[in-house]
């Protein structure tokens, strides 16, 4: 990770997650950034300016009209100084003020006065995060090009749990770090992620437990390594990684069509999605009513997307995934050979393993090598996997 040469203006708004902001300052500086800090009144109720001054090694800014600033226009000076503005945590109130263009405190005013890109890292109660007003404000900010990082799902200060937790400081730094000289610089990648939903009737479907986290972690890491990334995603609640083009699909047939449409000219295709092997032959047009009688569903095979991609002329380097409940390596090795893949990443799934978890373990198999990555958090595994893929692609040329 590198932020060398970046001048980051860190805005901290009110909320208990403000206690993480001093650690974020330290990690931004460790990555090479110069950091200046702006605190709202709410933020100062949780963490004082002296704490930030100690870790940032520079004066902390709190007042809109600063008598010590040049011409008393501190917000203009800061707005021009910054190459990036990052707000972490960004409270629900902060998001609303930005969305509506308020300018009656230092942080909101400099956001209007700057031409630097703005990133906000929301943190709040999960009910506030899911409120229609918050969703509307986020949509407004995204339309203006403001980048949203997080929040993540997890324990909250009030003893509840859900989406609303501030991203960890190291993950924020990773998301901000785009390495244009990275291992995949100049490469074009197509990645699939998440499950597919195969309709039974208008309200029911056949699906699986995939959260999409592994595929999204790979897309995030690939963009950070300088690649141009197209992500074809099944239904998932995850946010689109920064710098990634996302195409939403629902069924396996839709994912197949999207892959075949976008695979041409790609250097690498990573098929991380958990595509349903079967679909309902004839989905019901209306909801199937419950009764005491037994019923059955006729299933027909879905297209084998990765095998079809591997059979294309002038195909990209292809990496498949194998989720297995037994004989993981043997089954993955057979799958790679049967489908003609360059590499396969296999993992064991089951209760507490693989699907819908933060960590994973991958067994990587190619024609000439086999190795195991992890157990480790999925973002770390994604980086390691992409380095292996980059080495393999480079060896081909």
- Of 363, 389, 384, 24, the C-alpha closest to 217 is 384
333 phi/psi in degrees, rounded to 5: -60, -45
Query: Which residues face 320 on adjacent strands?
Result: 271, 344
User: Does the active-site annotation cover 360?
Assistant: no
- Residues placed in the known binding site: 277, 287, 303-306, 321, 335, 339
Q: Is 56 exposed, middle or buried (0-12, 13-18, 19+ CB in 10 A)?
A: buried
Residue 254 is encoded by which pair of tokens? 């839709």
- Residues placed in the known binding site for CTP: 277, 287, 303-306, 321, 335, 339
- Of 377, 13, 33, the C-alpha closest to 173 is 33
In degrees, to the nearest 5, what angle opens at C-alpha 117 toward C-alphas 192 and 267?
A: 30
Going 239 to 245 to 249 to 253, the CA torsion angle's sign is: negative
Considering 125, 208, 248, 331, which one is annotated as catalytic? Answer: 208
7 phi/psi in degrees, rounded to 5: -110, 105
Which residues are catalytic, by number? 208
């Amino acid at each position: 990770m590198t932020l060398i040469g970046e001048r980051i203006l860190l805005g901290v708004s009110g909320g208990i997650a403000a206690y993480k902001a001093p650690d974020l300052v330290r990690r931004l500086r460790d990555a090479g950034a110069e950091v200046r800090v702006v605190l709202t009144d709410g933020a100062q109720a949780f963490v004082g300016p002296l704490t930030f001054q100690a870790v940032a090694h520079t004066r902390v800014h709190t007042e809109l009209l600063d008598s010590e600033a040049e011409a008393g226009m501190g917000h203009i000076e800061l707005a021009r100084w910054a190459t990036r503005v990052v707000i972490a945590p960004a409270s629900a109130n902060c998001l609303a003020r930005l969305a509506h263009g308020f300018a009656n405190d230092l942080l909101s005013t400099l956001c209007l006065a700057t031409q630097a890109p703005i990133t906000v890292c929301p943190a709040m109660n999960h009910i506030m995060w899911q409120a229609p007003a918050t969703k509307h404000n986020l949509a407004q900010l995204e339309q203006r090009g403001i980048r949203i990082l997080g929040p993540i799902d997890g324990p909250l200060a009030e003893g509840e749990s859900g989406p609303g937790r501030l991203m960890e400081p190291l993950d924020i730094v990773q998301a901000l770090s785009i390495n244009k000289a990275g291992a995949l610089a100049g490469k074009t990648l197509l990645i699939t992620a998440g499950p597919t939903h195969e309709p039974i009737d208008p309200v029911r479907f056949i699906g699986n437990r995939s959260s999409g986290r592994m595929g999204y972690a790979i897309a995030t890491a690939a963009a950070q390594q300088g690649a141009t990334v197209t992500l074809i995603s099944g239904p998932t609640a995850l946010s689109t990684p920064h710098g990634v083009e996302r195409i939403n699909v629902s069924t396996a047939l839709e994912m197949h069509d999207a892959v075949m449409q976008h695979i041409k000219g790609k250097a690498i295709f990573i098929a991380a999605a958990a595509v349903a092997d079967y679909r309902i032959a004839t989905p019901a047009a209306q909801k199937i009513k419950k009764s005491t009688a037994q019923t059955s569903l006729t299933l027909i095979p879905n297209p084998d997307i990765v095998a079809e991609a591997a059979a294309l002329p002038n195909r990209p380097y292809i990496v498949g995934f194998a989720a297995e409940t037994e004989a993981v390596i043997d089954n993955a090795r057979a799958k790679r050979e049967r489908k003609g893949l360059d590499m396969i990443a296999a993992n064991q799934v089951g209760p507490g393993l693989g699907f819908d978890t933060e960590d994973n373990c991958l067994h990587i198999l190619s024609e000439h090598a086999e190795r195991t990555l992890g157990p480790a958090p999925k973002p770390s595994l994604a980086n390691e996997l992409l380095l292996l893929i980059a080495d393999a692609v480079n060896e081909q040329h």
